Amino acid sequence: MVVETVCNARIASLVCLLIQNAGLVMLMRYSRTRKDRTMFLASTAVAMDELSKFLLSSAMVFVNFHRGATTKELADSLEGQKSFAVFVRQHVVTRYSLLMAVPALLYTVQKNLLYCALSNLDACVYQVSYSAKLLTTALFSFLILKRTFTPWQQGGLFLLMIGVALVQISQVTETRKPTGEHPMLGVVAVSLACCTSGFASVYFEYMLKRSQDFWVKQGQLAFFAWVMAMCTVYTQDSAAVRESGFFQGYDFIVVLTIFFEAGGGIIVALVTKYADSIAKNFATALSLTLTTALSAIFWEFHVSPTFLAGAMATLAATYIYQNSAPPLPASSTARVAVALAVLGMLGLVSRLSGPGPAPVLPPAAPPVV
């Protein structure tokens, strides 16, 4: 019975990760490319996202406290507390927690960059390009945490760099660009987001190693990120907010996008608890396939050979890095089958998307008499 419950939780967490990965990218892309309504301010969406994360993290702290899943020091501190303001003052806004302002600032910048990237890049191109955060995370892990990497991991990182470069080249050289989109700006934005994400992730990991509770640290990070995001709203969009309001352009799609983004942290925590890295990699690969298929259907995205090669190289690099071992064990037959299925689905999507319409040539000049 216990085994069955764990298996069900594992499957449920992976399905949630698949839906969250694909759904968030598609929702962000759709919400930023609609032409039939007032565009919302990305800075306010980031602020609401971080506020939601702070409230969710705080709720998880008290849930774990009532389940007896917190450390003794934290449990003793929370015992008898009935005011949320007291919790914030004693556990969130402290002199030690001010160190979380560094990754909070970086994550705030990153979120705004991602909205800029998805305003100018196809959803699947963005998703593959954003995989480069693994490369920057590895670099900062080496520089800050003095982490070493096996030859297989180094090879995976090199393959990842090639794959992301191929995908970005396929987007920049695409001749059919919607009006108002600038792929080069999107590539620069997602590249900068990868750099900020890599450093912030390593810094946050370093802080977690010195802390006692994941959700307390997550709440501290979200709180300071919310403060930074509100400062961004004031400095960048204060005039627009005064003119049309903080929630201008908000509708169900925007709220759903914020919900998907805020829930990502909890889903990752569940996957970390119930599933292994291999299953997580396959869920990510399938989410890329789903994103590509939906982009081909709704946005007429053309899966070029360059994009297909880059996407497969990125998926292979992620697998090699996370599961670096020279030979494939005998039990890996199912993994290879899933990988081949992903390859087949991407190939099918490329066939469905077609070669795209033929370019319109200018009329021929009249013959010179």
| Sign of the four-CA dihedral 137, 142, 148, 153 | positive
> Which sequence spans correspond to the domains of the chain?
2-353
pLDDT of residue 311: 80
Neighbour tally for 353: CB within 10 Å = 20
pLDDT tens, 156-214? 888 888 888 888 777 666 655 555 678 888 889 999 999 998 898 888 888 877 766 77
pLDDT tens, 24-64? 888 998 898 888 788 999 999 999 999 999 998 888 877 77
Q: What are phi and psi of 40, to 5 degrees?
A: -75, 160
Residues 6+ apart with CB under 8 A from 1: none
pLDDT of residue 76: 57
Question: What's the chain look like in SS3?
Answer: CHHHHHHHHHHHHHHHHHHHHHHHHHHHHHHHHCCCCCCCCHHHHHHHHHHHHHHHHHHHHHHHHHHCCCCHHHHHHHCCCCCHHHHHHHHHCCCCHHHHHHHHHHHHHHHHHHHHHHCCCCHHHHHHHHHHHHHHHHHHHHHHCCCCCCHHHHHHHHHHHHHHHHHHHHHHCCCCCCCCCCHHHHHHHHHHHHHHHHHHHHHHHHHHHCCCCHHHHHHHHHHHHHHHHHHHHHHHHHHHHHHHCCCCCCCHHHHHHHHHHHHHHHHHHHHHHHCCHHHHHHHHHHHHHHHHHHHHHHCCCCCCHHHHHHHHHHHHHHHHHHCCCCCCCHHHHHHHHHHHHHHHHHHHHHHHHCCCCCCCCCCCCCCCC
Mean pLDDT per 10-residue interval, the chain, length 369 residues? 62 81 88 86 94 88 69 60 66 78 91 90 84 86 85 85 80 59 86 91 80 77 92 93 94 93 76 64 71 75 78 80 52 42 45 42 44
- Tell me if 66 sits within 8 A of 249, measured CB to CB: no
* Cα–Cα distance, 220 to 88 (Å, whole number): 9
End-to-end C-alpha distance for the chain, whole angstroms: 90
pLDDT of residue 2: 53
pLDDT of residue 180: 64
| Sign of the four-CA dihedral 185, 249, 253, 279 | positive
* Residue closest to 109 by CA, chosen among 197, 218, 211: 197
Residues 6+ apart with CB under 8 A from 336: 328
* Cα–Cα distance, 59 to 28 (Å, whole number): 26
Q: Tokens in use for 240?
A: 């627009």
* Residue closest to 201 by CA, chosen among 143, 258, 161, 148: 143
pLDDT of residue 11: 77
Max Cα distance, the chain (Å): 98
Neighbour tally for 52: CB within 10 Å = 18
- Assign residue 230 a region (left: φ > 0; alpha: ψ between -120 and 50; beta: otherwise): alpha
> Angle of helix 252-274 relative to helix 2-33, nearest 10 degrees?
150
* Residue closest to 321 by CA, chosen among 354, 369, 277: 277
